[in-house]
Amino acid sequence: MSIYESLNPVQQEAVYHTEGPVLILAGAGSGKTRVLTHRIAYLIEEMGVNPWNIMAITFTNKAAEEMRERVDKIVGFGSESIWVSTFHSTCVRILRRYIDRLGFDNNFTIYDTDDQKTLIKDVCKRLDIDTKTYKERNIMAAISKAKEEMITPEEYLLNAGGDYAQKKMAGIYQEYQKQLKKNNALDFDDLLCKTVELFEYNPDVLEYYQNRFRYIMVDEYQDTNTVQFRFISMLAKKYKNLCVVGDDDQSIYKFRGANIQNILGYEKVFPEAKVIKLEQNYRSTGNILNAANMVIRNNKGRKDKTLWTDREEGEKLKLCQCETGYEEAERIVAEIKQLVAGGTYRYSDCALLYRTNAQSRILEEQFVRENIPYKVVGGVNFYARKEIKDLLCYLKTIDNGRDDLAVRRIINVPKRGIGATTIDRVQEYAAEHEMSFYDALRMAEQIPSLGRAASRIIPFVNQIQVLRSKLEFMSLKDFMEEIIASIEYEKEYENEDAEEVAARMENVDELISKLADYEESEEQPTLSGFLEEVALIADIDSLDDSSNRVVLMTLHSAKGLEFPKVFLCGMEDGLFPSYMCITSDDPSDLEEERRLCYVGITRAMDSLTISFAKQRMIRGETQWNKPSRFLKEIPFELFEGMIKENKIKEMPKNNSYASAKQAFQTRAFQPKAFAVNDSKELDYGVGDTVFHIKFGTGIVKEILEGGRDYEVTVEFEKAGVRKMFASFAKLKKL
């Protein structure tokens, strides 16, 4: 029996159709990765295609690694020659070889979001632009959107016409790009834009890669934006062997620039394209799929398909109707405890999915109270932590001295007595003489305005030069340890408590481990290669499948994952779908929210609980919302017999009478200020001196009752004013 006989008939059709453009519409859980890997094997084994003539592109490192493992296993010898990577990694490989044709050095730096924000601040300062009027986040979003549509700063200015604000933005965009080039740096959007630019102005480079990649496969095609489509279409133009796999019903990244028309209009661009639908789902039970199908069919902008499965109908969906967001958290956690205690599931089998990150707080508090292990995906990225950023900037400075942001970050880390005034004077000298910040530092003694401050700069420059000279003689792991010892990095935190320092040093140790892992996995490890790998890591790639913890994440983060037990939280109009989508003039906004709901439902393999609350605290105000309109699109017979009537009970309207009545009936989280020692359940009151294990000694300024806990405001001697819940703070009266 051949490996292809294990596929279903439609999957086989997708594998065997190798020539010309192909659109594979792959429903959730329909085995698209399996199809792609078998298609690669078929091209090599049956069609005689050279492995190095095949490219497979996906969006996340996690997905690329999974595909790479499967390809290696199924293809065997020669599989290492196949390019399996993300869009950004693919473009980095091309640019590392040819970006000098665009005026950059090949050891360019890749800027993450924090680096971009810092540079935007510098640009605004340089152009004398008030960042209160033009917020950095909005500027970054505008520039990113322009790059996704391949709009240059010059075109942006032309499009601005007489719009003053748009003209200002065009000026910022132009200066931002100028500074990036000066720093020999690219942001994430540039990786694609510069590759397309390289192809447009260098036909020989384009032809080389067209001949190299005669068979191209793209996963998650519904998430591509304009510049990604342009990149792929340029590569595939010569041989037209472009196979794209995606699901228009799972297009949920419009806010990141994803253009659903890329998949909906594929046949318009490639009229000869073969369209194949994968509708058999191998993940979920019948009831879960029926719920997903009934929701998504309400969208008009989609290609017709219906998921089905050979699996049993399974248990019906559970509906959890709660009075408040706090009760929702309590009931979800109680159900998880019961399921785990009964041996039905492990903690790691359970996932809580929600629309916004803010919803995680109440859920986390309940997990802490019940001592249940959990992990929030999409929190602070490991590589965004201060100590890690500091050390990475040392590596960046040693690797690419033209990266001004990296040099400026570490020049006074640990403290060397080099202040902001000194840095500004060096920056002015660098700008005046059109040189990098680091080159200006090397000439510190020749900068008249520095005076005695030059003597503090020279040791830093000498230190970097010495470290740079040692790089070629040491492993990267040993080199990192040499940097930490040489700069005496722990001095940076000598004023912090021991617990905080220990946590930071644990992170530093983890970075050293990462360097060691990188060296073991690469045949020719380089510092540039390591920095490149780190720059391309996404939050979702940090999800550790081996740890036995409940997973909490947004619906956007959950795409591509699956869990035996899923809780879909906060299903209320105004929250999910969001109020902005409900009131939007563009009907496609609500359709995208519905696709997000479809994604959430189809993450569940065996069991799905959907919950909503009658009232919820949002932005400091109690709101009463109706149950989500998406919830009403699911037939009631698919739910367990929790609903007495054939409708979901409507919520009270948010009027003054309903609010007053609700407040009278319950004291649910309406804060009440306490006078001194009025809080009988606590052994301290307002005005008392208390001790906190982390923040030390302080005076209680205010105690508020929140229904299930007390919120205590304390003014600490060293840490300042802090607000905390009494049950977590464990304050001791002195």
Backbone angles phi, psi at 272, to 5 degrees: -85, 5
Six-digit token pair at 160? 């601005």
What is the C-alpha to C-alpha distance for residues 604 and 275, in angstroms, rounded to an integer?
27
What is the C-alpha to C-alpha distance for residues 47 and 55, in angstroms, rounded to an integer?
16
Burial class (CB in 10 A: 0-12, 13-18, 19+), 472: exposed
Contact 87, 192 (CB under 8 A): yes
Contact 573, 629 (CB under 8 A): yes
| Residues with Cβ within 8 Å of residue 2, at least 6 apart in sequence | none
Six-digit token pair at 157? 């200015």
Task: Give the C-alpha distances (Å, rounded to integers) separating 287 from 310, 422, 565.
Answer: 12, 67, 14
What is the C-alpha to C-alpha distance for residues 46 and 53, in angstroms, rounded to an integer?
15
Six-digit token pair at 549? 């913890």
Instruction: List the catalytic residues.
Output: 32-33, 219-220, 250, 603
What is the C-alpha to C-alpha distance for residues 502 and 94, in angstroms, rounded to an integer?
41
What is the C-alpha to C-alpha distance for residues 317 and 307, in angstroms, rounded to an integer?
17
User: 666, 615, 670, 623: which is closest to 328 by C-alpha?
Assistant: 615
Three-class SS of residue 358? helix
Q: How many residues can be counted in the chain?
A: 734
User: 662, 567, 630: which is closest to 363 by C-alpha?
Assistant: 567
Three-class SS of residue 419? coil
User: Nearest 5 degrees, angle CA 576-CA 582-CA 587?
Assistant: 115
Q: DSSP code of 316?
A: P
Six-digit token pair at 596? 């997000």
Contact 328, 617 (CB under 8 A): no
Task: Give the C-alpha distances (Å, rounded to integers) separating 710 from 390, 556, 617, 713.
Answer: 38, 33, 16, 10
Q: Say if strands 550-554 and 318-324 run parallel, antiparallel, or are unpaired.
A: unpaired
The strand ranges marked E within 176-251 are: 185-187, 215-218, 242-246
Three-class SS of residue 445? helix
Six-digit token pair at 232? 């792929």
Six-digit token pair at 45? 């084994």
Six-digit token pair at 561? 């994952």
| Residues with Cβ within 8 Å of residue 25, at least 6 apart in sequence | 246, 247, 248, 275, 276, 277, 278, 303, 305
Contact 613, 324 (CB under 8 A): yes
User: 336, 328, 320: which is closest to 372 by C-alpha?
Assistant: 336
